[in-house]
Structure 1
């Protein structure tokens, strides 16, 4: 080999070695995170990234993630989001998939620029955190309810309805209010059916009360379904459809029109009034009206509650059943006497003190929710009645009232006119939490205000709804 040829080969080997060394060197560039949501579900998160000042022949943009409590980033935490050649700037969005994260976990992220792929790249320091997201991995809490019914079917979600206009309803929240973990806010009930009904918009970012009023078309036939799958703002949901009824055949009695009154058309309690009247739990006036905006006396309330408890006039006591239920303003000749005595005996309604029941006094909003609470505490009454506290039908009153009333509030009551320690304080909180009663404004419940007959019907409808 000539000296000239050897020199050329040696030069070629030197240049190749220099090129190899250059390609393995760390390339210039600065990575950053341009967008990341503060909360993410436990599946994935979309992260915006950018890389600037890159001048090397090949640059790999690497996204690193780790639990904030982890001692170091690991190659397994690295995702290769882009590879560029001779590019000064680059940007994009990458969907980072999670593995093994739990609700409340904080996940740190950083971006590096490297000539190597993840397996051989320089691992960033544990302190190199550009941004983070917090995991909200919990679906909304809540329940949904069928209209009141005594129908005894194997799956009470699959009950029929009393008449062709009815309310399917429920309450859901993206968090239990005693839970400190993060939450993104309630988003939608995602209702569906085999009909053409539409769902109302949610009421707010943290909780929602669904009031889904439906009317079967006169031509309805065959199997019909109604279902829901509540979700939060970042996509957590109940994991599938939950049914009010699932492919249940429509029957002729479901298409029969409800009772009509002259003053209910267009009223916000029309559906509940007509439905309860169809069940025989309430009745109208001789002039054909119901009196949706009229008040209710305590004597009338005792009769209405005991009718829901399965009592008829023939079943009522003809004398006070105990000294505690002997009232100087209730005589055996009064039409309401038996109803008052039975409501007292059952522990639903108590006297006002001084031996008085106050039968002609107007029932207040604070009193009505207290009666509901008394019924729940006493466990209801007649087995198989609408107020059956044995749980035969699992109503909102005998089931959800306890679940969400004992510290786990779906809707937190913050009423300025409900003082701590009043006889109605807890009942107001429970009734509001489970959607049985609403406030008169965002900050008031008006517990001393007389309840209207329409309001009473809506409260009773929801309390007796089956869940």
Structure 2
């Protein structure tokens, strides 16, 4: 072989070798995604990655994604995660900008080691590459309602003072009600509460998707007060940009200067620290409930059906002086006589369609009121279109009972698999509605105890919630 031919062949081999090096991705390096969020919105997803066994001198860590579908498509959306010089192992977290994806899509991810960056024609993994992680896209925000303390003021609560200094503002939010059946959702995350005022706020917190925000104004409170909330789901979706929804209007807030707002609510000797204290005291301040002559309320005592008829009709705006003196048509019961203290209340509750007899011409006034009966009476009031006055007059006030009793159904804002509420029971739908909107709670995660006697404290909480102003 001549020297000239040898040199030509040597150059050809060198050129082929160089071409092979330039066109082939470096294989050395085992890359993995160690964690990824289960859900994300269309902004970012934080992915943890790690690479071992790299060979120098320089390697690029690349992140790829694709929308899950059948048949599988190629990975795209290349992002340069890191550039590693040397042979050391590496790890970190990369905030990945999501590709265009619709609600319900699943985005799959892989991470690779390459000698090119994303602009240098890196090797794209084959379509059949097994994804290292995946994230479900949830673009739908939470939905629900929020409520302020009961009030007969017909203006918006944003300009209405509270009755006394301790009250509950509450609400229910769900991440599933606007999501089509079969599509996953991330779930409720936080109410993101905040206050503005010239006083130190009480601790805030939430119980899953049900908010109970109890607040007490100190005697030194002054100036405007605002309670803001911006509920979010676990994917980071919120109700929208500021200003967030408010319990009290931030444009023209009411100053905390009225005597009523700074006064202690009505009190009893046996309710301090009780779980239903705030409801009992606030309703007593509104003259909707009362205690006993010895200064107690008896929050753990039970209620009779006669007592319940009284409490419902007081909320309906009736007094002893405005009750019927005799039984209206269809409301004559053999166990209710005109001399009974409760006669007028029972007759009025019957005439309004709130409470019915138990059959056989009886009202059973001295029997205990059950939890199932309480929510059924609320449901009757809703079905009747409200009462004729007071807090049950739907034409006068907008409340949780008047506007939201059936607004969130199929699915409900809150649902539970009750083991003691039979389909077809007279209280079945009322239980679902009352629990769904947050007016009533279960006695456990799976029991509502509809046949259990309601206590006076339980009744106070349910009444407070039902007539809370929307």
TM norm structure 2: 0.87
Once the two structures are superposed, residues 375-413 of structure 1 have per-residue CA deviations (whole angstroms, 9 ceiling, x without a partner) of 111110225x311234x5321111222123x32222223
Residue deviations 1:284-315, cap 9 Å, x none?
A: 22222222122222122112111211223343
Instruction: Report which stretch shifted further, 250-259 or 65-74.
Output: 65-74
User: CA, structure 1 residues 88+300, in 2 after alignment: closer, same or farther (shift >3 Å)?
Assistant: closer
C-alpha RMSD of the superposition: 2.8
> 2:291, 2:297 within 8 Å by CA — same for their partners in 1?
yes
**Partners of 2:350 and 2:264 in 1: how far apart?**
36
> Which residue of structure 2 aligns with residue 426 of structure 1?
429
For residue 165 of structure 1, what is the aligned residue in structure 2?
Answer: 166
2:269 aligns with: 262
Offset of residue 101 of structure 1: 2.2
Match of 2:200, SS state, is coil
Match of 2:104 in 1: 104
Contact 2:31 2:112 in 1 (8 A): yes
Structure 1 position 374, deviation (Å): 0.6
| Corresponding position of 2:191 | 189
Q: How far apart in 1 are the matches of 2:138 and 2:160?
A: 35
Contact 1:27/1:56, CA 8 A, preserved across alignment: no
Give the counterpart of 1:146 among 148, 151, 154: 148
Structure 2 matches for 1:266-415, cutoff 5 A? 266-322=273-329, 324-382=330-388, 385-390=390-395, 392-404=396-408, 406-415=409-418
Q: CA deviation at 1:174?
A: 3.5
- Which residue of structure 1 aligns with residue 124 of structure 2? 123
CA distance in structure 1 between the partners assigned to 2:384 and 2:373 by the alignment = 16
Q: Which ranges in structure 2 are unaligned for 5 or more consecutive residues?
A: none
Preserved CA contact (<8 Å) 2:167 2:279: yes
Note closer, same or farther for the CA distance 1:316–1:233 as it changes in structure 2 (3 Å cut): same
Q: Is the 8 A contact 1:151 1:160 kept in 2?
A: no
Distance 2:349 2:40 in 1: 52
Is 1:227 the counterpart of 2:228? The answer is yes
Q: Tell me the alpha carbon deviations over residues 312-362 of structure 1, each in whole angstroms, 9 at most, x when there is no partner.
A: 33433333332x322122223333222222211221111101111112222
Matched residues in 1 for 2:367 and 2:117: separation? 81
Render the CA deviation track for 1:141-161: whole Å, top value 9, x for unaligned. Answer: 3322101001222x3344310
Change over 3 Å in CA distance of 1:158–1:413 after alignment to 2: farther
How far apart, CA to CA, are the structure 1 residues paired with 2:203 and 2:433?
A: 26
SS in 1 for 2:170: strand
Contact 2:40/2:236 (8 A) holds in 1: no
Q: Residue 140 of structure 1 contacts residue 175 of structure 1 at CA under 8 Å; is this kept in 2?
A: yes
CA positional deviation for 1:13: 11
Change (3 A) 1:178 1:327: farther
Whole-angstrom CA distance in 1 between matches of 2:90 and 2:22: 20
